[in-house]
Structure formats: structure tokens, C-alpha cells
Structure 1
Amino acid sequence: MTRPQRIYAAEGGGEITGIIPRNNFIEYRWTPPGGKDTLLLNIAGAEQTGRLFVPI
């Protein structure tokens, strides 16, 4: 099993964090547009493309 190049973490404040696990570096933080509080429960990642899908 290969180690992932990036881990995505979603928390109750409506933010998704992209983390590089080899050095625990937070690469970016993303919040959905619109300025509304959003509970991000259902996210999916595409292994082949590295894209993250977030329903908003």
C-alpha cells in the first residue's frame, strides 16, 4: 500500500484542510463560497486525478 500524497480533513467549522503527510505541512485551507456556515460531511476524493469533490 502506498502512502497518500495528500490528506483532506473536514471539520465542523466549514473548512477543508489539505495536509501533506510526509512532513505534516498544511498546504491549504478552503472554505465554500458564500460566507455561510457549512457542515461538510460528505466529501470524496478521486484517486486517479487527486481531485476532491465537495457537495455544497
Structure 2
Amino acid sequence: MLPRDPVMLLSYVNTQLRDRDASLDALCDREETDRDALCAALREIGYEYDAAQNRFV
């Protein structure tokens, strides 16, 4: 289950992208979560996914 707090979510997602998942799609598949909803939640606190860096910046 992904964290609900947006800042904790950001930290968790970026850590998983750095250490475990080769892409946001891979993370979403593994976590069984909707990519658009995840991106929207992090966009609310000013973060966008950067595929070249494979992290939210």
C-alpha cells in the first residue's frame, strides 16, 4: 500500500524508482496502482515525473 501523505509518497516513490524499478510503469505495475492518479497526487505538491532521471522532480 502506498503512503497517503504526499510528501511520504514522494519519498517512497523516488526511493523505489532509484533502488528497484526501471520505470514509473514498472513501479505502478508492481504496486498495482494507477499511474495517472499517482502523478496527479505528486503534481499537487509541485512534482512531475522525469523519465530521463527516472524520478519525480
Q: Same fold (TM over 0.5)?
A: no
Could you say which structure has the higher strand fraction? 1
Could you say which structure has the higher helix fraction? 2
Q: TM-score, normalised by structure 2?
A: 0.21
Higher relative contact order structure (alpha carbons within 8 Å, sequence separation ≥ 6): 2
